Amino acid sequence: MIRTIILFIIIFSIVVISHELGHFLIGRRNGIRVVEFSVGMGPTLFSFIKGGVKYSLKLLPIGGACMFDGEDGMDREEKEEAGGMHRRAGVEAQLPLSSETTDQRYGRVDLDAQGIAFPEAGVWRRIATVFAGPFFNFILAFVVAVVLILALVGVLMAVAMPKFKKMQTLVDRMNLVSREILTGVPVIRAARRQNHTDQS
């Protein structure tokens, strides 16, 4: 039971990470700002920022995520406006204007250095970025299938080769016996003729 759960977590994580990696690579290729690329879920255990992207390792080893700037449908100006003032139960509450923007939430990542936000990208760039996730899953499935087929062929060859060698040895012996018989028939006939001549 525990082995099954562990195996499921490993397989699920590999599938999700490959999916998110597809979004990440193609998104970056298309000039879309990536805010955070994380492995796992839950609280962050370890993180670092490189190239304007926050890379994180989460507590729960399940799945992962690739966060693009603006993929929640709000651009940075709207977030700053929403952070300035909001209403709760009919009471206005003043919030810090830009203290809880995407920059601070994800470790003050320099988003401007990365390119454009997801909603600002062209439609084909967005389509390619979204499609990259399942496409990378397809590539992963293809690679796994090829590896499994090669492994299966190797196992079958390892099992079948000894039996094939035994069969080949048997065939060789049968061919040898057949040649001896075919070679010996004329000799026997000649000996019989010689006996018949001597008796005459």
Distance CA 197, CA 171 (A): 40
8: enclosing H helix or E strand: helix 2-29
Q: Which of 72, 71, 79, 73 is nearest to 104 (CA)?
A: 79
Bin 108: left if φ > 0, else alpha if -120 < ψ < 50, else beta: left
From residue 5, alpha-carbon distances to 1, 8, 62, 92, 140 in Å are 6, 5, 11, 48, 21
- Which of 20, 36, 78, 100 is labelled catalytic? 20
Q: Read off the DSSP letter of residue 115.
A: -
To the query of whether residue 81 is one of the catalytic residues in this protein, the response is no
From residue 178, alpha-carbon distances to 62, 80, 147, 192 in Å are 67, 94, 45, 21
| Terminal Cα-to-Cα distance of the chain (whole angstroms) | 92
Catalytic residues: 20
